[in-house]
Amino acid sequence: MSEIKNIRDQFISKLENDLSIDQINEIKTELFGKNGLISSKFKTIGSIPDTDRKKFASDLNQAKDELQNLITSKINELEGKKINEKLEKEKVDITLPERPFVRGKVHPVSQTIDEISSIFSEIGFSVEEGPDVENEYYNFTALNTPDNHPARDMHDTFYLDENKEFLLRTHTSPVQIRTMLKDKPPFKIIAPGRTYRSDSDQTHSPMFHQVEGLHIDTNINMGHLKGCLNYFIKEFFEVEKIKMRFRPSHFPFTEPSAEVDIGYEIKDGKIIIGEGDKWLEILGCGMVHPNVLKNVKVDPSKYQGYAFGIGIDRLAMLKYGINDLRAFFDCDYRWLNHFGFDPLDVPSNYRGLSR
């Protein structure tokens, strides 16, 4: 039994010295490792005579507990000392001047959505929303887009399953379908939101933002559409006059369909919207196709209306002089600090949209 006492006394004496954590861990391994002195003694208990085995085991356990507690205490003491030294060195001097407060900025896309919503709310439009993950029926079929239409090609559309039943919506037009199915006419809504198409370059992004407009009522015609868009473009670009033309086009969900161009000129290297001898395409529109109305249980002999789709990112680029669409998604604080907007200055028609 004196051998256990000798081991105990020897290592207690060692642990009383000024040791590092690494040195203490070495002692711990020497005692309690796989082939450590204490571990080896436990393996011999079975060979001790019955008369001495109980006392041997008791003395061995006592020595083990005493040494383990001492080792743990020494390690905790050294780690606590190390933390206190670190805290002492990293003290913060609260008498130093405070750091300058930096206010966040509103992203140009968010600002543009707020501006668009503010303008259309002035003429009676409400805002509707829908899911980014859409089903094939709402995104294509209900909008009079046949199975063989190019828009359904996997090179253009992000499908989420092999059966092409679910996809990332390619436009916000499905929101008009959802709105008309859940309610009864008249409808007068805009639907801003994210949309997705398999396209990426300096002027296109796989994820971009679009606003869909819809007005369904009795006796609605192209004149109402032209008046609505004329009002919107003048208010958005904050100009008194706007030169605008409608070019015949084709969309499956409108008939007749048109692309809308606005006049502009280049002055001092900047695009000036309003008057000029150059034309710039900004949106697509048309009268809602009778098949779309039938798909949502609206009688096309009684109701008709117009719809339009506008690229929000493109509008923001034109209005605020941003020449690269990719910058919208780079998360560069310096860029946002330059092009961003005061979060407390909410756009409104009577105060001005982009103060």
Q: For residue 245, what pLDDT is reported?
A: 93
User: Residue 268, by phi and psi: left (phi above 0), alpha (psi -120 to 50) or beta?
Assistant: left
Shared domain check, 18 and 158? no
The answer to whether residues 216 and 296 belong to one domain is: yes
Yes or no: say if 168 and 135 are a contact pair by the CB < 8 Å rule: no
Distances, alpha carbon 61 to alpha carbons 12, 68, 247, 321, in Å: 15, 10, 95, 80
Q: Looking at 40, 59, 89, which one is the last position of a domain? A: 89
Q: pLDDT for 307-334, tens place per residue? A: 999 999 989 988 888 888 888 888 888 8
**Do 205 and 301 belong together in one domain?**
yes
- Number of structural domains (the chain) is 2
Residue 81 maps to a domain: yes
In this structure, are 79 and 151 located in the same domain? Answer: no
State the Cα–Cα distance between residues 40 and 55, nearest whole angstrom.
Answer: 17
Residues 170 and 224 in one domain: yes
Q: Which domain holds residue 299?
A: 108-339
Q: Is residue 236 within 8 Å of 116, Cβ to Cβ?
A: yes
Boundary (domain end) residue, out of 89, 120, 142:
89
Assigned domain for 349 exists:
no
The CATH number of whichever domain residue 181 belongs to comes to: 3.30.930.10
The answer to pTM > 0.75 is no
Among candidate residues 59, 89, 119, the one where a domain is terminated: 89
> Are residues 227 and 254 located together in one domain of the fold?
yes
Q: What pLDDT is stored for residue 212 in this prediction? A: 95
State the pLDDT confidence band at 272, using cuts at 50, 70 and 90: confident
Residues 84 and 122 in one domain: no
How confident is the model over 138-162, as pLDDT tens digits? 999 999 987 877 766 755 788 898 8
Question: Does residue 345 sit within a domain?
Answer: no
Same domain, 18 and 71: yes
Residue 183 sits in the same domain as residue 122: yes
Domain presence at residue 351:
no
The pLDDT value given to residue 221: 94
User: What does the pLDDT average to over 202-224?
Assistant: 89
Q: Judge if 165 and 81 occupy the same domain.
A: no
Residue corresponding to tokens 């980014």: 132
H or E element that contains 181:
helix 174-182
User: Which of the residue ranges 198-202, 230-234, 265-269 would you say has the lowest mean pLDDT?
Assistant: 198-202
Share of the chain above pLDDT 70, in %: 92
Mark whether 57 and 158 lie in a shared domain: no
Look at 133-137, 168-172, 303-307, 320-324 and tell me which has the smallest mean pLDDT: 320-324
- Establish if 182 belongs to a structural domain: yes
